[in-house]
Amino acid sequence: MDEPSATEPDREREDAGESVIATRALTKRYRGGQLAVDGLDLTVPAGSVFGFLGPNGSGKTTTIRMLMGLIEPTSGTARVLGRPMPRAARAVLPHVGALIEGPALYGFLSGRDNLLRYDAADPTSDPRTRRARVAAALDRVGLTAAATKKAKAYSLGMKQRLGLAAALLQPRRLLVLDEPTNGLDPQGMREIRSLVRELASDGTTVFLSSHLLDEIEQVCTHAAVMAQGRLITQGPVSDLAAGTRGRLIVTTPDPGEAARVLKEQGASDVVTEDDKVTAEPPDRDLADVNAALVSAGVRVRGFGLQRASLEDAFVALTGEGFDVAG
């Protein structure tokens, strides 16, 4: 495909509903022969918080490196902000903030000086507002108090925050974050999640990778699931889990009778535990099942479907647990 040599990414095409990231049959085979990404078709809608999910070694970082033009695909294509990568990298990258595995830092410089230097390397950045920009970015990631400490003395989580601050120096249309919560404690992870939500509410599309299912569930509107270099599924997070049905849960002081009625109603795998009876729901209107319980004299305190988690969906899709690929 022939590309016009415009220097601006194609905002119009993107605004017309084209995705912020789109790949077609994107494939990477490393020189050693490892097929790291295998025929990936990825579509990231504008304005989404998109979770790129997969166990260790499933090809997330390799994909991100191709999207950012850091490595060439073996075959297939990648478009970012409507332009082909790596060809349009110079036009696209100023609009993209990226945090990729092991951010490059100068250990002998303080966190603040690292950011000042990083900002100065950006030809589009205004030197007059540099210090204010750096201070705001440090504040956003919670590093103000540690700003004058040398980066080599930073913990992994602090380095991760500093990398994130670098990505936040300029307003961006797209943020690409490779495992942004890596090395952070639970409090730090919560902070990053709320930062991601905040950025998204400003209209920035956020693409973040993770091997943590519940993290993706908590913050993402959309997700793609990778396993061994292949895309298993992608779409709105609510749809991904919705494909998998949760279990029926009945809370009652009459669990024995409730279990009997549920079986009669066609529920399977009925399990009783204290005042809770859970089961695979029968394929019929659950209002009728509830009515049957009540008319059999079962005192129902709670009746509902447990929400299927992304992990349930992953297990259902792959037939495997969510662990490391060989």
Query: Which of 5, 7, 17, 32 touches ligand ATP (CB under 6 A)?
Result: 32
CA–CA distance, 114 with 150 (Å, rounded to integer): 9
Smaller CB distance to Mg ion: residue 60 or 161? 60
Distances (CA, A) of 204 to 10, 124, 138, 160, 232: 16, 19, 19, 20, 26
3-state secondary structure (DSSP) of residue 126: coil
Contact between 61 and Mg ion by CB under 5 A: the answer reads: yes
Supply the minimum distance, in Å, between the C-beta of residue 181 and ligand ATP: 12
Distances (CA, A) of 171 to 37, 96, 118, 160, 203: 30, 9, 15, 19, 10
Outline where DSSP puts E strands in the chain.
21-29, 35-40, 43-44, 49-53, 75-80, 83-85, 96-99, 174-178, 205-210, 222-227, 230-236, 248-251, 268-273, 276-280, 302-305
Supply the minimum distance, in Å, between the C-beta of residue 65 and Mg ion: 9
Q: H/E element holding 133?
A: helix 130-140
Supply the minimum distance, in Å, between the C-beta of residue 314 and ligand ATP: 14
Q: Between residue 143 and residue 182, which ones bind ligand ATP under the rule CB under 6 A?
A: none
For residue 37, count other CB atoms closer than 10 A to its CB.
28
Looking at beta carbons, which residue is closest to Mg ion?
61
Supply the minimum distance, in Å, between the C-beta of residue 60 and Mg ion: 5
Q: Between residue 176 and residue 215, which ones bind ligand ATP under the rule CB under 6 A?
A: 211
CA–CA distance, 66 with 182 (Å, rounded to integer): 21
CA–CA distance, 83 with 92 (Å, rounded to integer): 7
Q: Between residue 34 and residue 63, which ones bind ligand ATP under the rule CB under 6 A?
A: 34, 36, 54, 56-62
> Which option in ligand ATP, Mg ion, none does residue 161 bind, with CB closer than 5 to 8 A by kind?
none
Q: Between residue 220 and residue 279, which ones bind ligand ATP under the rule CB under 6 A?
A: none
Number of residues binding to ligand ATP, judged by CB under 6 A: 13
Supply the minimum distance, in Å, between the C-beta of residue 260 and Mg ion: 50
> Which option in Mg ion, ligand ATP, none does residue 270 bind, with CB closer than 5 to 8 A by kind?
none
| Length of the chain in terms of residues written | 326
Supply the minimum distance, in Å, between the C-beta of residue 89 and ligand ATP: 19
Smaller CB distance to ligand ATP: residue 27 or 110? 27
Residue type, 199: L
Residue with tokens 């029926």: 248
Supply the minimum distance, in Å, between the C-beta of residue 194 and Mg ion: 23
Q: Which two tokens stand for residue 271?
A: 């399990």
Query: Which of 30, 106, 185, 201 touches ligand ATP (CB under 6 A)?
Result: 30
> Binding residues for ligand ATP, per CB under 6 A?
30, 32, 34, 36, 54, 56-62, 211
Applying CB under 5 A, which residues contact Mg ion? 60-61
